[in-house]
Amino acid sequence: MTHLQSSAGAARPITAQQAYIIEIGETQVGLVNRRADERHFTFISASSAFRALEGHRFATPVAAELAARQLARPHRN
């Protein structure tokens, strides 16, 4: 998981944002982000295989990564 952090320009009130890239192996499957005024991280899909998680909200980036890993597992019949 890679951490990215940015903030708004100095002319406006500063609103920090946290973003984490979600990776499985060498593949970037999406990212989660949240603004300082939000409690949860929102998943943004980088691959159609993970579109089912698009817009889902997670308490932590690790929870989002676990959900992505579970979605990536082959289903057993």
Per-residue pLDDT at 15 = 64
Closest CA to 28 of 2, 54, 5, 59: 2
Residue 9 lies in a domain: no
List, for residues 12-47, the tens digit of each pLDDT value: 555 689 999 999 999 999 999 999 999 999 999 999
Residue 60 lies in a domain: yes
Per the structure, the count of domains in the chain is 1
Residue 10 lies in a domain: no
Residue 35 lies in a domain: yes
Report how far residue 4's alpha carbon sits from residue 7's, in angstroms, rounded to the nearest whole number.
11
Residue 11 lies in a domain: no
List, for residues 2-20, the tens digit of each pLDDT value: 555 544 444 555 568 999 9
- Answer for the pair 14, 6: CB distance below 8 angstroms, yes or no: no
pTM: 0.76
List, for residues 59-77, the tens digit of each pLDDT value: 999 999 999 999 998 865 5
Per-residue pLDDT at 9 = 47
Residue 58, domain extent: 18-72
Residue 55 lies in a domain: yes
